[in-house]
Amino acid sequence: MSVTVKVPAKVNLQLGVGPLRDDGYHDLVNVFHAVSLFDEVTAAHGPLAVTVAGASIEGVPAGPDNLAARAARRLADHLGREADVRLHIDKAIPVAGGMAGGSADAAAALLACARLWEADVPFETLLDLAADVGSDVPFALFGGTALGLGRGERLTALPCEGEFHWVFALADGGLSTPAVFAECDRLRAAFEQEAGWPHESPELLAALTAGDAKALGAALGNDLQPAALSLRPSLGRTLAAGREFGALGGLVSGSGPTCAFLAADAGHAAELAAALDEADVARALVTATGPVPGAHVLS
């Protein structure tokens, strides 16, 4: 018997970063949006093991260091049982790309293990366990479009009308999330910028409610973008090319280095992806739509 869970990537439509907290995290105003790039995680009975397959999986730890294994152990602890599960991850979400691929796999592992072990775990409890594994893990269960406060783990669903069309410019190599947050702190200190308390953007929330892609494109924002650009200056060219080729908006996704561009419709997204490909400003271009549901069992 095995259980397969499909889980989406995310892009942050707004990532407001507050001051560094005593526990090493930052308070966030984090508008998450789940998009149609998916990993699949299959759980089967056996000694704890993680295997990974996919086109670009360099740097993904197999075995107990994988975040999916941590998630399985966290659920097993909660249930007071052994984490005896073989997890297989089929990866399509870019690795270390700012699209929460590792967090998605952890969320999928929680759901798959709960089903495999026939444990009746309430959704709220799964969200709490997910938050113990990582700040972005609860959203991968939640899906849709949501506001994340605190570390990003305190979620509220946001109204989002219609479908948005995205182009993702994937970069060579990843960026480490802690390194990007640290660079954000360093830049703020160097330029004596007070890290104010972040606020939700009313323009962004209104654009989501209205399903207005043009207004959403103008309202996208990421406080981690200067840090990602400082660590990976070549992303400046990628973002400039997206603007030049008519994206409604563009930004670094989360801690990067993936860049996300908003298009008016599916045709515009395909044209934009082709133009960016031609300009040679990314390792690969993929199109996707959002919002999509969070992690769910396929079989």
Residues catalogued as catalytic = 10, 136
Which stretch, 21-29, 71-79, 206-214, 224-232, contacts ligand C5P (CB under 6 A)? 21-29
Helix axes 123-133, 67-79, angle to 10 degrees: 130
Cα→Cα distances 147→2, 172, 204, Å: 33, 29, 11
Helix, strand, coil percent values for the chain (each to nearest 5): 35, 30, 35
Amino acid at 127: L
Amino acid at 240: A
What stretch of H or E contains 140?
helix 137-142
Residues 31-60 that bind ligand C5P (CB under 6 A): none
174 binds ligand C5P (CB under 6 A): no
177 binds ligand C5P (CB under 6 A): yes
CB-closest chain residue to ligand C5P: 135
- 120 neighbors 108 (Cβ within 8 angstroms): no
Q: Which of 10, 26, 70, 268 binds ligand C5P (CB under 6 A)?
A: 26
Q: How far is the CB of 111 from ligand C5P (least distance, A)?
A: 18
181 binds ligand C5P (CB under 6 A): yes
Q: How far is the CB of 243 from ligand C5P (least distance, A)?
A: 28
152 binds ligand C5P (CB under 6 A): yes
User: Which residues in this chain contact ligand C5P in the complex, by CB under 6 A?
Assistant: 24-26, 28, 134-136, 151-152, 177-178, 181
